Amino acid sequence: RDLLDVLKIDPSNKEAAALLALVRERHGKSKREGGSDMAKALAGLTSPNNSSTKTTTSDGEGNDIDKSVDHSLKMIMGLLTRDVASAAMELGRRGGVSHLMEVATNTSRRGGGHRHRYMYSIQNRVLALHALSAACSHGPFVRQYACPNALCQEELAHLISESCGGAGVVSEANAADERPQQIAVAAIALLLRLVVHLDHTDEKMVQSVHDVNGSSVCRALTAGLSAPPSEDSTTCHRAAIDLLSAWTASDMDALASAAEASDVYLESVANGGSSKQSNRLSEAQMNNLKPKEFAQYKKKMYEIHKHNQERARENAILFCDMETGGLTALLDCAVSTTDHSLRREIGSVIGRLVASFEEDEDAMKLVSPLLGYTGSIPSSSEGEGQATGTSNDMLTIEEITEEEEESKETDTEASSSDDPLVLEQKRGQLVSALLLGKSEVGVWALNSGWADGKGLRELEGLVSSGNPTSMSIASEIISAAASVEKGRPLLTPLVEKGCIETLLACDNREVRSGAASAIAKLGLANKDLSSDEGEVFGLLQIAAELVTGTAKDDEELIQKTNKIKRGGGSDLSSSSSDTTAIDRGIEVLSYLCSKTNIKEEIAHGFKAQSASNSILERLVELASASDAGETHKAYGLATIFSLISVSNQTLRDEAFSKADITSEQYDQLQALGKTEEEKELDKKHQDLDPKDAVSARIVRMANANVPRAMVKLMEGSSEATKEMLVLGMNRMAVDQTVRGLMIQQGCLSACLKVEKSESPSDMEKKTWHQARHCMAKLLVTTNPGLLTVSQRMGSIGPLIQLIHDHESTDLSRFEALMATTNLASLDEETKNRVIAEKGIARLGYAMFSDHEMVRRAAMEAMSNLIPHPEMMKYLADPENIRLWVAFSREFDENLECSRAAIGCLAMASQDPKVAEVLAASAHFEEMATSLLECGNLELMHRVLVALLNMSDHGGKCKEAVISSGCGVFCKAYVQSYQDGTMASGLNFNEQEKGLLLVTVDLAKEISKLCEE
């Protein structure tokens, strides 16, 4: 256990891993010679003396309880929980797989050599499956002891099908409180483990490994999706969807990391610190590869990706095959459930499955029978015309074979067996999924494929049916079609007939939310509608009503959802309906927040008529709820916060930031082709959002605890959500007045925690860049003494990285330099950290920037590193001092840079070595005299300090001051201005007069030292 704890802290500790392997080997041998805990537990499952007995409870109901088996199974689970690697391998060596499968399948060999039916309790059968699933989280166990020859997948599929049968199993359980579908859920979870380990791409050989029986998986999936209504049916449906998603996934790395969190760690223990994904190199490792090795590595990764995609496509095609019946099972499940969230999830799954078909024609052939389409499948060139309703209505003559005629009759008979309304629901659900997953096919289905072109009529029937499921499906179709450019024109007849108004008037929040989402998408796509303030504010009111609730309601929804995930909930439908309505309300708000007047309304307290809290307060409550970052609404909330804190003009500037022209230049080019009337109209509709208004919104957001909510929302969020949240923080940090509040509410600490991955994706790199820029903005004006040590020290590394990053903008680099200057001014500890992060070299690199302000900020940052020994060593190099002298002389071209450079030399000249190098510089005399004669008191003050330090050192330094004529200048300067008569005619203000007296005093000291 101690070794396991050590490896949890440091998985790369090879000595601990080797010692653990040795201990396991010796421990295993000693246990094999004696009786290990695992051996005793398995004996409890196989001993004839431990036969199951039938007992009767006080109420007379039978209850099969095998206490010995129950104890043995719990003992096995305990051993696997404590150390899954060694316990799983011992379980496999001792034949535990077959014993556990006997319990799971309700069979036994006790009392004889052949298998016969046995009466294990459902609780014990579920526990046996859980034990197998836990053992299968260890990869080597699966490949050695749970391969197809050792663990029959067909038997597992039969078990799932039998457990979902309902009545037969219930009667066998002989207990009212037994729930047989729990067996199916546990068996599906076990099958998911097998899919993860046995159906993948071998990265070493770069070839696909298919040790999963596809027909068995399909049988298990259709059985799980067809589970009859019960307390566990929704959990069973979700388990089947998870298995389907895993089996048809192309990103096996993400799947493995999600499905086997413990296995990744245990694999690293087994091979000395590298996980299953050890063949994937980090960015640093790729940078160290030679060009040929890098090309080979990229080729290998491409081939692996290609194999994974092909595997996913083959599995999807097998499941969607009409003989398999997978697609039909998904549609049956979708229309039979009252859980709106599950129905939407099924729609997403169907969309992903159909998207795996490369050609649109193949997807159309697949869905045509289910849609009731009897015409010919259009080719790619014809598909676009049919999608937009412009296809030729020419008469075509084609030959129909007897087989095709019989097939059509069979499809018609199968379709007619369903209730007409149920059939319309299935077709509508399929069209909604197609619009999400393969939009071109979805538009064709809505226009032509659905009931041979009668789809819009049937859609209208779903709307007017009054059936909650039908109206929910109709709402999803309209919302999905509004998201597709070619699908919007098809909705025009429905809008004219008032179908969307009918959906908005429905009592079901789920139905209203979909309709509101559709109106938002249609309105923003149509300039006339989007400019109608009445329409826009009507949508805002609807969205406010959809998200209305309290923090207590949110916690109850999350508790209900978690209850369902654990397998306990019959009341999911209501909670999921509320959650989905809230999601849709947030989706509508995210669309509306593209308009400045809506941003102003939300920031200044707009609320629903029946609500006590404003929309902004409600959004903060939703974002602050536990596990909010893991929900569907997280990205929408992040988008809303990010949009409110920025003007539309800034968004345009950001969009043009990487273009060859600016937004102003683009507007000028556009104006060349417009008439005066059009220009006046553009001015009238111009979106005015001044900086003061943006700042006021940001202040209100900070006072409403939006930064704290954004920090909370980052916990468990996706990379896309995290990127949007960090972008929102970065935009809020523009306002200096809220930076202190943002740091207090955790924004700085949250940005510091963003950089974790060793090999970040492109999206993660963008997030990192935004987080670094946000830290820079927060720390430019913040007193570093008010920060914690971890905040100060942790910020320096990211800031130096931002300065060094070649993709950084001049603004981000400048603000990072200013923040570094601020931190380095605090104490010696911060200076040490800057130096340790290669600060001198990277700040020196920034001194050569094309932007004057970046150069000046880099010099100021380096000046604040004085008197650190490494900085003094850097300045003692003649090549480096020559650079600083050159910058000091350029006061005519860049006064700010010259002032920073000579200020650095003035401070550094206190060191004798730096002073000697400065005196020996070829351009010292020219620099000193030009600065003394420039007439700028600030520059004169700095160069006089440097000359005073050099004169005080004596020797060559003093000789350089005298030989340059600076001593004579100082004497004449004192004689001219010490009495103040000549200064009276210079029109200096009080500050300048004070600085003049300081320079005169310095000149006196220099003159005195030169005369000695």
Residue 51 CA, chain-centre distance (Å), reads: 53
Distance CA 288, CA 294 (A): 9
Q: What is the pLDDT of residues 102-128, one digit of tens each?
A: 888 877 544 444 444 556 788 888 898
User: Residue with structure tokens 């947030």?
Assistant: 586
DSSP character at residue 910: T
Contact 800, 776 (CB under 8 A): no
Higher pLDDT, 275 or 978: 978
Is residue 565 predicted with pLDDT exceeding 60? no
Is residue 249 predicted with pLDDT exceeding 90? no
Name beta bridge partners: 601.
none
Higher pLDDT, 782 or 976: 782
Determine how β-strand 207-210 pairs with β-strand 199-202. antiparallel
DSSP character at residue 986: G
- Give residue 390's pLDDT: 42
| Token couple for 987 | 């029109």
| Token couple for 553 | 């309601």
**Residue 533 pLDDT level (bands cut at 50, 70, 90):** low
Show the DSSP H helices in 688-738 as ranges.
691-703, 706-713, 719-732
Counting Cα atoms < 13 Å in the Cβ hemisphere of 218 gives 18
- In 3D space, the residue among 56, 174, 43, 58 whose CA is nearest the CA of residue 106 turns out to be 174
* Torsion over CA: 461, 467, 473, 478 (sign): positive
User: Residue with structure tokens 């309209």?
Assistant: 478
- In 3D space, the residue among 481, 485, 372 whose CA is nearest the CA of residue 427 turns out to be 372
Most confident of 9-23, 265-279, 905-919: 905-919
- Give residue 678's pLDDT: 74
**Residue 171 pLDDT level (bands cut at 50, 70, 90):** very low
Interhelix angle for 468-482 vs 420-437, to 10°? Answer: 30
Is residue 188 predicted with pLDDT exceeding 80? yes
Distance CA 803, CA 784 (A): 19
Higher pLDDT, 639 or 10: 639
Is residue 133 predicted with pLDDT exceeding 50? yes
How many DSSP H helices and E strands does the chain contain? 59, 6
Average pLDDT over residues 415-438: 83
Distance CA 239, CA 234 (A): 9
Distance CA 816, CA 768 (A): 14
Distance CA 481, CA 442 (A): 8
**Residue 713 pLDDT level (bands cut at 50, 70, 90):** very high
Residue percentage of the chain with pLDDT more than 70: 79
Most confident of 14-28, 48-62, 904-918: 904-918
Is residue 777 predicted with pLDDT exceeding 70? yes
Is residue 201 predicted with pLDDT exceeding 70? no
Q: What is the pLDDT of residues 510-530, one digit of tens each?
A: 788 788 888 777 765 554 445
Distance CA 874, CA 619 (A): 53
**Residue 254 pLDDT level (bands cut at 50, 70, 90):** low
* Torsion over CA: 135, 136, 138, 144 (sign): positive
Start-to-end C-alpha separation, the chain: 78
Q: What is the pLDDT of residues 920-967, one digit of tens each?
A: 888 888 888 888 888 788 888 888 999 898 888 888 888 888 888 888
Q: What is the pLDDT of residues 435-448, one digit of tens each?
A: 988 889 999 999 98
Q: Give all strands (DSSP E) within 314-436, no chain letters.
A: none
Name beta bridge partners: 62.
56
Q: Which are the contacts of 225, defined by CB distance < 8 A and separation ≥ 6?
A: 237, 240, 241, 326, 329, 330, 332, 333
Higher pLDDT, 512 or 882: 882
- Give residue 730's pLDDT: 93
- Give residue 430's pLDDT: 92
Tell me the whole-structure pTM to 2 decimals. Answer: 0.68
**Range of weakest confidence among 166-180, 411-425, 558-572, 843-857:** 558-572
**Residue 227 pLDDT level (bands cut at 50, 70, 90):** confident
Average pLDDT over residues 672-687: 73
Distance CA 735, CA 13 (A): 46
Distance CA 102, CA 117 (A): 10
**Count of C-beta atoms within a 10 Å radius of residue 11:** 19
Contact 782, 758 (CB under 8 A): no
Q: What is the pLDDT of residues 321-371, one digit of tens each?
A: 888 888 999 999 999 888 888 888 898 899 988 888 888 888 898 889 999
What single-letter amino acid sits at 659? A
**Count of C-beta atoms within a 10 Å radius of residue 171:** 9
Distance CA 557, CA 570 (A): 13
Distance CA 299, CA 291 (A): 12
Contact 55, 63 (CB under 8 A): yes
**Residue 800 pLDDT level (bands cut at 50, 70, 90):** very high
Q: Average model confidence (pLDDT) for the chain?
A: 79
Is residue 573 predicted with pLDDT exceeding 80? no
Distance CA 805, CA 760 (A): 15
Distance CA 490, CA 389 (A): 8
Is residue 729 predicted with pLDDT exceeding 70? yes
Is residue 428 predicted with pLDDT exceeding 50? yes
- Give residue 661's pLDDT: 75
- Give residue 378's pLDDT: 75
**Residue 179 pLDDT level (bands cut at 50, 70, 90):** low
For 688, 723, 742, 765, 853, the CA distances from 733, given in Å and listed in that order, are 21, 15, 8, 20, 20
Q: What is the pLDDT of residues 806-828, one digit of tens each?
A: 888 889 999 999 999 999 988 88
